[in-house]
Amino acid sequence: MSTSTIEKVSCLIIGSGPAGYTAAIYASRANLNPVLYQGIQPGGQLTITTEVENYPGYPDGVQGPEMMVQFEQQAKRMGADIRYGLATKVDFSVQPYRIWIDEEKEMLADAVIIATGASAKWLGLESEQRLNGYGVSACAVCDGFFFRNKEVAIVGAGDTAAEEALYLSKLCTTVHMIVRKGQMRASKVMQDRVLATPNIKIYWNSETEEILGEQKTEAVRIRNTQSNEKTVIPVSGFFVAIGHQPNSDIFKGWLDMDEAGYIQTIPGTSKTNIEGVFASGDVQDKIYRQAVTAAGSGCMAALDAERYLGAKGLH
């Protein structure tokens, strides 16, 4: 590893969704001169979302990628130094903290704001990736609207899947819910609601074999794991609701996390178990996972970082 390029900054922001960019806006206005590394997916999950209709301030809605460009432009206008690069390793044992970018460049930072987000878990089918954005989605709340009065399928058995199936049932004619086992993992109250909804049809002990369609989603082929019987269900939309994976691997061993890998923060703050390291957005939020809540927590992280640096006499 090359250590020839070492750079020292006051505030380093890792990640570039609504949380990262909002943190950059606030940190810039506080004269922290933040450097933000965008990571593997500049703009985060919203860049694979088409229409965003639930973010305040956009009465006609906005395209997800366009909104993230606007967030980035606003952060740049405030003076944030926004760079392309991926944080690949950290050392939080001594201050200033050390963060490696793309395995070669070394950054030293007095305060670190983590906004690395979470990624939707996928089934791992070739057809799922090929048709992603063409009827295949991992967010019913984001994309359900586009399937009004159509038939859709959803795969999953937890609270999120149940919640999204109920949401889709209000928009779509029929929701075909594909459940891998003979029961759901969802809470009793959510299961009861799903079972009481007449236009949700549940397929127990079923696995998705293939999503069918050339240019767009047209059907899904499922297999009953007990009888081996295969069924083709014509659908216009296919929603994957099997959970999210927080992008927190490089912080393992340093920061407190829950069993799923979400970074734990002190309630009501963005503070982690290491002073001067703050976490915001979906990497620490498994409950709400919305652009507006991520942006709010990015603001909290920047304000927490500013107070921390001020108290330490570093700002």
pLDDT, residue 1, reads 46
Helices (H), the chain: 18-29, 64-77, 126-130, 140-143, 159-169, 188-195, 291-311
CA distance 67 to 229: 45
pLDDT digits (tens, 9 = 90+) for 35-66: 999 998 888 888 766 678 789 999 998 988 89
Q: Of 11, 142, 172, 299, which one is the catalytic site residue?
A: 142
Which range scores top for mean pLDDT: 42-56, 138-152, 215-229?
A: 215-229
- 193 has a pLDDT exceeding 80: yes
> Which of 49, 33, 29 shows the shortest CA–CA distance to 41?
49
pLDDT category at 271 given cuts 50, 70, 90 is very high
Burial bucket for residue 225 (CB in 10 Å: 0-12, 13-18, 19+): middle
Q: Of 11, 81, 110, 139, which one is the catalytic site residue?
A: 139
CATH 3.50.50.60 for the 122-240 domain, yes or no = yes
pLDDT digits (tens, 9 = 90+) for 252-262: 999 999 999 99
- The yes-or-no answer on residue 142 being catalytic is yes
- Stretch 222-249: mean pLDDT, rounded? 96
> Which of 32, 33, 22, 106 shows the shortest CA–CA distance to 67?
22
pLDDT, residue 49, reads 66
**What is the model's pTM?**
0.81
Lowest mean pLDDT segment, chosen from 20-34, 130-144, 152-166:
130-144
pLDDT, residue 4, reads 58
- The yes-or-no answer on residue 11 being catalytic is no
CA distance 25 to 3: 30
Q: Of 110, 143, 285, 304, which one is the catalytic site residue?
A: 143
Give the CA count within 13 Å in the CB-facing half-sphere of 97. Answer: 24
pLDDT, residue 2, reads 47
- 10 has a pLDDT exceeding 50: yes
> Which of 149, 157, 196 shows the shortest CA–CA distance to 177?
157
pLDDT, residue 50, reads 66
| Entry field: residues in the chain | 315
Q: Answer whether 294's CB lies under 8 Å from 19's CB.
A: yes
- The yes-or-no answer on residue 172 being catalytic is no
Angle at 167 between CA 164 and CA 168, to 5 degrees: 85
Residue with tokens 């159509």: 150
Q: Please provide the CATH number assigned to the domain covering 6-119+244-311.
A: 3.50.50.60
- Stretch 278-287: mean pLDDT, rounded? 95
**What average pLDDT is seen over the chain?**
94
pLDDT digits (tens, 9 = 90+) for 80-137: 999 999 999 999 999 999 999 999 999 999 999 999 999 889 999 999 999 998 999 9
Question: Above pLDDT 90, what percent of the chain?
Answer: 84
- 3 has a pLDDT exceeding 70: no
- 139 has a pLDDT exceeding 90: no
- Stretch 179-196: mean pLDDT, rounded? 95
Range(s) within the chain of domains with CATH label 3.50.50.60: 6-119+244-311, 122-240
- Stretch 188-211: mean pLDDT, rounded? 97
